[in-house]
Amino acid sequence: MKSTAFSAALLMLSGSFSLAGESEWLETDGGNIRLVTEPYMEGASEIRGVIDIQLTDGWKTYWRDPGSGGITPSIEISNTTLVNGVDIHFPVPTWVESKYGDYAGYIEPVQIPFTMELSSPAHDTEINARLMVGICAEICIPAFQDFTIQIEEATGSTRASAIVANAFAALPKSPKEIGIKITTEKLEDQGAYELAVEGKLAPQQLFVSSDNNVQFKKPQLISIDGGKSTYRIEPLHAVESGQEVKLIVTGRTPQGDFEFNAYNASQK
């Protein structure tokens, strides 16, 4: 989706305070958004949370690879040295059709897990977090929000901890866990790969991204031989010679969702 399609309007509110791990909602035309964090256990080296996006019918939001003009969800932490960084973990998306080019995203309410890596054992504190999420119908809106996250020690089960646990449990598993096998082969074309899946895929539910900002087009199915499906994978933009490419293959099967790091090599 082209960046020129974005509305000039930016949604931004002042900090919303959380209560028992659940922030107040950021309300937008495209849906409501909040952060949910679980209480920590004594000595914890990380704190888990969820970006909770309740989309309005007809609106979409973006995956790890947002296509040619989308916005990947991001969280920036300030006011503390306790948090080293934030890792966002993505559920399997779906292919969204657009006149600007199909992209991977979510068309229904989604909970996107994240992990805050800590520099020292967790303790009770407040953390300022700026969340950015792109949501769109025909017009796309970058939604910003400043949250204050209350970090508290666990004293028992809470609704917030259940929400977070369920979101992490729904993340894709390894291919082996759901009984499929995936192989990749680098092709002569710069940045292109052939990817074979042994096992039944849900129709058109294969996605390729990378953890070093190389974007890929929608995989092209080129053959089916029994239970083996072969796809051609092409980069969205030219890949420079010598550039390291770390493929992440994600998909949906009748047996469950999967994800794994498929390849780690420099383009020659």
Residue 17 has pLDDT above 70, yes or no: no
Comparison of pLDDT for 57 and 8, the residue scoring more: 57
- Give the mean pLDDT of 198-225: 86
Residues in the chain, total: 268
Comparison of pLDDT for 209 and 15, the residue scoring more: 209
Torsional sign, CA 111, 117, 121, 123: negative
- pTM above 0.95? no
236 in Cβ contact with 201 (< 8 Å) = no
Residue 268 has pLDDT above 50, yes or no: no
132 in Cβ contact with 144 (< 8 Å) = yes
Task: Give dist(CA 164, CA 244) in Å, integer.
Answer: 34
**Closest alpha carbon to 24 in 146, 125, 154:** 146
Pick from 2-6, 50-54, 249-253: least confident: 2-6
User: Coil, helix or strand for 38?
Assistant: coil
Q: Give exposure, 130-149, as e/b (b: 16+ Cβ within 10 Å).
A: ebbbbbbeeebbbbebbbbb
For residue 185, what pLDDT is reported?
87
The CATH number, out of the four listed (2.60.40.2550, 3.30.565.10, 2.60.40.1250, 1.10.510.10), of the domain defined by the range 3-169: 2.60.40.1250
168 in Cβ contact with 51 (< 8 Å) = no
For residue 204, what pLDDT is reported?
67
Task: Give dist(CA 261, CA 246) in Å, integer.
Answer: 7
What is the pLDDT confidence band of residue 263, given thresholds at 50, 70 and 90?
low
- Give the mean pLDDT of 58-67: 94
- pLDDT of 214-261, one tens digit each? 899 999 999 998 888 999 999 888 887 777 788 899 999 888 999 988
Considering the chain, what is the average pLDDT of its residues? 86
Residue 122 has pLDDT above 50, yes or no: yes
CB atoms within 10 A of CB 205: 17
Topology match between the domains 3-169 and 175-266: yes
The domain spans of the chain are 3-169, 175-266
Comparison of pLDDT for 50 and 5, the residue scoring more: 50
Token duo for residue 62: 């973006």
231 in Cβ contact with 218 (< 8 Å) = no
Task: Give dist(CA 145, CA 142) in Å, integer.
Answer: 10
Q: CATH second-level architecture of 175-266? A: Sandwich (2.60)
